[in-house]
Amino acid sequence: MRIAITGSTGLIGTALVRSLRADGHGVVRLVRRPPAADNEVRWNPLRQEVDAAGLAGCDAVVHLAGAGVGDHRWTAAYKREIRDSRVLGTAAVAEAVASLDVPPRVFVSGSAIGYYGDTGDRRTDESAPPGEGFLPSVCVDWEDAATAARDAGIRTVFARTGLVVARSGGAWGRLFPLFRLGLGGRLGDGSQYWSFISLRDHIAALRHLIDTEALTGPVNLTAPEPVTNREVTAVMGRVLHRPTPFPVPAPALRLALGEFAGDVLGSQRVIPRRLLESGFRFTDPGIEAAVRAA
């Protein structure tokens, strides 16, 4: 297959490119600079510009680009960047693939379990409505931005991603150094659920979305059983052979992170019902396996 990917230099994109190429698939990377190779296509998400001709002949397009939610404090300007990088970029890619004489078979567009907001201890699958707050509203707009692809008859799948357990990048990229130094601990009271997925399961799941014709619409990319932050802390300490004596009080998190602290302390018990029903099998279904894999 020939597969185009945005966000190909990020944590997920880099691993996906490596996996696809290892199996002999051709990968076209969308880049924001002038293309330096035949397998690169120029795009500018904020200007909603895509060289659609460069996507001709692609069997699938995987759209992963977007500003990191936890990369900066949530000022008004950065919240606008989070939203625009997702909504404008998705609309640009969706319109580009819809304009092709022979469009790709599938458009896999990134999304997030932030769609559901704080679910407490309620098991939540793809049938749940959106939650309330900034991130749910971003996710709703993010998915709506793919309308052009859906209207063109392209199978469109939304990969609602959980917390990816990886050695570098994402939430765990920040946790590992702290725990290795013996500075790790639960966040708040530790009762909040974290819906995680190992990096290798996440890549396998994305490839499953590409290949499985029956899947369309939202699909949760999380491990089968979410765990509490307290359980995560215990596993991290055990795997890394470090004590975990330093809980971070909720007020300190709010002081350090501002509005984003509400999402760090929030609970999301999200279940990958559609992924499991479609026959996907996890390599790292439990949190300890996921941490050890990382």
- Output the pLDDT for position 39: 94
CATH number for the domain spanning 256: value is 3.40.50.720
Judged against a pLDDT cut of 70, whether residue 174 lies above it is answered with: yes
- Output the pLDDT for position 253: 60
Q: Give how many domains the chain has, as a whole number.
A: 1
Range of the domain at 48: 2-293
pLDDT tens by residue, 33-76: 999 899 999 999 989 999 999 999 999 999 999 988 877 778 89
- Output the pLDDT for position 170: 81
Percentage of residues of the chain with pLDDT beyond 90: 79
CA angle, 275 then 7 then 267, to 5°: 50
pLDDT tens by residue, 224-267: 999 999 999 999 999 999 998 888 776 766 665 566 666 667 89
- Output the pLDDT for position 252: 63
Which of 150, 154, 159, 149 has its CA nearest to residue 109? 159
Three-state DSSP class for 166? coil
- Output the pLDDT for position 6: 97
Average pLDDT over residues 163-174: 87
Neighbours of 234 (CB within 10 A): 17
Structure tokens at 117: 């907001």
How many CA atoms within 13 Å lie on the side-chain side of 188?
18
Among 3-7, 33-37, 39-43, 174-178, the least confident range: 174-178
Q: In this structure, what DSSP letter does residue 187 have?
A: B
Which of 116, 117, 97, 115 has its CA nearest to residue 106? 97
Write out the DSSP string of 28-95: EEEESSPP-STTEEEEETTTTEE-GGGGTT-SEEEE-----TTSS---HHHHHHHHHHHHHHHHHHHH
- Output the pLDDT for position 11: 93
pLDDT tens by residue, 112-149: 999 999 999 999 999 999 999 999 999 999 999 999 99
State residue 39 phi and psi, 5-degree precision. -95, 25
- Output the pLDDT for position 263: 64
Average pLDDT over residues 136-164: 97
